[in-house]
Structure 1
């Protein structure tokens, strides 16, 4: 099951971070990324503000993934990294300035997160030589504030596949859609083509196209619609807006799941196979075009498959054995190719 996270910045301020964390908990998000050595993070009373943020995350059961550097302890006023174990920090992202032995020592108390873009083959070989437990390691991609500098889907997937083969957890960022972080305010995605495409779609791409385990929002805050989408995705389903014929609107009453053996042509609802056994009748209707996004229910001509709900992923030939009962809204069409392998979906009447 994929997991999800937000990003928190000291410069955002305690009250705003408190508001964001409350929305994150409502969305069943359990991770947050933050950096304790961003150059432009200018905050009065740095130590006090950092302690307040750590305490807020701990009281909210948010596990912090912290980007650290050699001077992090000095800035926070801690004597050792072991002292951080009592805080909400569960993951340390070590980018530079740490020896292999220091990383091994830190891994006894924390999950170690490497920079996925800068982890070298020689680093991996050296950690293997030291019998490192790679299941205790993660790799987090950068986010890219400057347009045209992000990674491609293909490169992100290739890197993630190599890391996962080692047993590591992969992390990447989706851009926000509401309050974008400065100084550029142009989104903080890992994948360049997802800049501005919407939070839910970006996360689906990270999960399905890039094989990412933990998807994080890089920016400060997201829209209410995006929060709902992330909450639903954390529960394993995606909502699809649609126009549905009145007599078939009973199909909106539940969460459906695509079959684990996904078809390239249609999304097939596992739950709908029970409709006929529940006594529902599906007499054949006039044959209609079966374009991409059309919602159909198998009629009596399909015998034991009568009642099965399908959504066309692509334009298909007209089929006398199905009744076309609705159409996915244009804004939801982009999600159809990502509802695969048992993922859930809910139809919402516009």
Structure 2
């Protein structure tokens, strides 16, 4: 499942609702929020109920981060099922204050997300001893607003594997772009390497490491990223942004060949085109779009995107360049995958 985040420290707007609708239409099905905020209690409750109604109307699952302290502040009994149900959330991400027996009791009625980084075998044994309903238990990694504090990918992979071995689905976060949350405005990823990274690439690689539910932790994605998720939904491939306009590339959908090269994305349709393009014989940097000229004989018309940097080669022109934000996607291209180009 893919999800976005909507925070309650600001008034909800028509723009927020339209964003939910837009992201639902590109296969996002979850919304994350938190009541860990200093917003006055009556205002917070009103906004939470409004967001819950939006999610219900749009068929989205609302996941709300709670703690005992935050629940008491809005007059919710942390251990009362009826009170908790009034939040309108499909899942509760437990922040702090709940002991093992209380978690087991709540798991009878609610889908609960426990701290994935802190769970240990003895915690699971304790939950079993209290006959917790493990079908309602999940594990959620944190997001890390402060630069240099995000998790190591290998440690994440190891911990996620252990959690899944114990039948706990894993939730994690990637950073957003347009409306960065928190005091540092540096994104809120689970993995440090994903800070400032292309969201689609970060999401796909986080899934490969074992995450089942992945949320964009910041308030919004840029329109360019939304377009990439839309292309991925429709074509199962990547929309790549060019440094400069080139209708010859942007007006059709291309495909990676069935055979996967180590250092370049080779586009199957290249040699069948009637090209009227040339480019300088320059160093072929990572992300360079190259076209083989007539002197390359049977390779004339070969259209490639470089995954690695190679020196200039006679007969191979550099006709464009993929923007830096999209370079991580090149390493995720699979055989026969659709490739689109965009210059906006």
TM (norm. structure 1) is 0.73
Decide whether the 8 Å contact of 1:91 with 1:110 is kept in 2. yes
Q: Is the 8 A contact 1:258 1:339 kept in 2?
A: no
Distance of aligned partners of 1:129 and 1:238 in 2 relative to their CA distance in 1, 3 Å threshold = farther
User: Residues of 2 paired with 1:66 and 1:254: CA distance?
Assistant: 40
What is the aligned partner in structure 2 of residue 347 from structure 1? Answer: 341
| Residue pair 1:265, 1:313 contacting (<8 A) in 2 also | yes
Distance 1:40 1:106 in 2: 26
Partner of 1:181: 181
Q: Distance in 1 between matches of 2:254 and 2:124?
A: 43
Change (3 A) 1:136 1:341: farther
Q: Which position in structure 2 is the counterpart of 1:52? A: 50
User: Corresponding residue for 2:91?
Assistant: 91
How far did 1:253 drift? 0.9
| Contact residue 4 and residue 30 of structure 2 kept, 8 A | yes
Determine if the alignment matches structure 1 residue 158 to structure 2 residue 158.
yes
Contact 2:3–2:32 (8 Å) recurs in 1: yes
Write out aligned runs for 1:297-336 (5 A). Answer: 310-316=304-310, 326-331=319-324, 334-336=327-329
Offset of residue 156 of structure 1: 2.7
Aligned residue for 1:177, secondary structure, equals coil
Match of 2:59 in 1: 61
Match of 2:221 in 1: 222
Residues 265, 133 of structure 1: alpha-carbon distance in 2 compared, 3 angstrom cutoff: farther
Following TM superposition, by how much is the alpha carbon of 1:58 offset from its aligned partner in structure 2, in angstroms? 0.7
Count of residue pairs the alignment pairs up: 335
Q: 1:345 & 1:167 partners in 2: Cα distance?
A: 36
Task: Provide the secondary structure at the position in 2 that maps to 1:10.
Answer: coil
Spell out, residue by residue over 1:239-266, the C-alpha distance to the aligned partner (whole angstroms, 9 max, x if none). 21347997x936851253575x754323
Deviation of residue 87 (structure 1)?
7.5
CA drift of 1:13 comes to 1.6
Q: Which runs of 5+ in 1 are unaligned?
A: none
- 1:1-350 matches, within 5 Å, as 3-15=1-13, 17-36=16-35, 38-70=36-68, 75=74, 77=76, 80-81=80-81, 89-100=89-100, 102-127=102-127, 137-207=137-207, 210-233=209-232, 236-242=236-242, 249=248, 252-254=251-253, 256=255, 259=258, 262-269=260-267, 272=268, 291=284, 292-295=286-289, 310-316=304-310, 326-331=319-324, 334-341=327-334, 344-348=338-342
Shift of 1:172: 2.0
2:163 is paired with a residue of what secondary structure?
A: helix
TM-score, normalised with respect to structure 2: 0.74
